[in-house]
Amino acid sequence: MMNQTHIHLLITHLPIFGSMMGAFVLLYGIFTKSIQTKTAAYLVLMVSSLGAIVAYLTGEAAEETVEKIQGITKTIIEQHADFAVFAIIGLSVLGAMSILGLMLVALKSVHEKAVTILTFLIALVSFTLVARTGYLGGQIRHTEISSVNANANNTTIENNKGKDKDD
């Protein structure tokens, strides 16, 4: 049965890819002046925001799970959790702006274009925040992307170059 840790690991990719994809779709909608494209982008961005909320709410359970694993440092967990606060704020604002944008599109408001451009910019910032959060989260278990471990692995590889198994 899936627990909150499994859900956290599965859902964390949604806000990363969704915010990026939603931003590109919204940009396309801005240039083509397509109401349908902007609407689709707003829906993608709202789903991304909801995914971020789920990821954030399940993060504590995931933290409790990985704290028990040998070799996991508390520092990287805390960096990930601390940066997640910025990401959830950004994606929450993005979700609210997407709802506002949808409403203004439906009402054919004169403010719709300005809100669309602002939402696009917020999507870019939100993507940056959530991508950084994901990168920090990945360092918790994916030691191949950890800068400390990558340097240690490169040193080991360099030290072993040219040596035969018989040495």
Q: What is the mean pLDDT of residues 62-85?
A: 89
Q: What are the domain boundaries of the chain?
A: 4-160
- Give whole-number Cα distances, 49 to 85, 122, 136, 167, in Å: 13, 12, 19, 56
User: Count of CB atoms within 10 A of residue 31's CB?
Assistant: 9
pLDDT tens digit string along 112-150?
999 999 999 999 999 999 999 999 998 887 767 666 544
pTM beyond 0.75: yes
